[in-house]
Structure 1
Amino acid sequence: WQTISGEHGLDGSGHYNGSSDLQLERMNVYFNEANGDKYVPRAVLVDLEP
């Protein structure tokens, strides 16, 4: 999530700090918008390979 968050301009607490409209354009693919302009992941990705 660190990589995806960074690509969309989100800090560690889920607040948008980016400067581009392109970052917000497809934010809903990976994140849901919570109250107070905070974004939370829509899913948990797990790699089951050892």
Structure 2
Amino acid sequence: MSMDVGDHVATAYLPACGVCTWCAQGMQYICDTAAGMENGFALDGSARAS
């Protein structure tokens, strides 16, 4: 499959902590530590907005 200028693409952001067992093995897509980041939580579990 080749891509040409002007082709549509889709991206997805999956948060990852970068230090857990899964991230260390290159499997950031199953990072449990950063799972709450998509809901606005920091890695320490605190909320970004109050």
Larger Rg: 2
Structure with greater helix percent: 1
Structure with greater strand percent: 1
Using the size of structure 2 for normalisation, the TM-score is: 0.28
Using the size of structure 1 for normalisation, the TM-score is: 0.28
